[in-house]
Amino acid sequence: MYVMLLTTAAFFVAIIVATERLVEIIKGLIPALSRRQKDASKEGLRAAALQIIAVFSGILMGFLANPATKGLVPQTLTQFPGIIALGFLVSGGSGFWNAILSYLLQVKDIRKPRA
């Protein structure tokens, strides 16, 4: 159970890193997305566009990683609704998921002395 949890968290981190890289590439291709806007409404539109791009990038990365992840992560993450949910989950960024992964690794270290 613990190994599956750790593998799933590592999977999320990998998908997030790939998603963030794709968003950075898109921002590089569309300079208006890279620059913060002084006007609050324009900045809101820019932030919303980046979030939408991140969701679709996460979905794309989920589909691309799907063949390699069968049997490694829960089956619900490899089916269509799971991949859509994955896109939304990873679009929030890697900070949250890196924290989850580090907590899981700390739990592993706490459990070691008992064994």
Residues near 81 by Cβ (< 8 Å), separated by ≥ 6?
none
pLDDT digits (tens, 9 = 90+) for 93-109: 655 666 666 777 777 66
pLDDT digits (tens, 9 = 90+) for 49-85: 988 998 899 899 888 888 877 777 777 777 888 888 8
Domain residues of the chain, as ranges? 2-114
Quickly tell me which residue has 């969701």 as its tokens. 55
Q: Do the beta carbons of residue 15 and residue 62 sit within 8 Å?
A: yes
In one-letter notation, the amino acid at residue 51 is Q
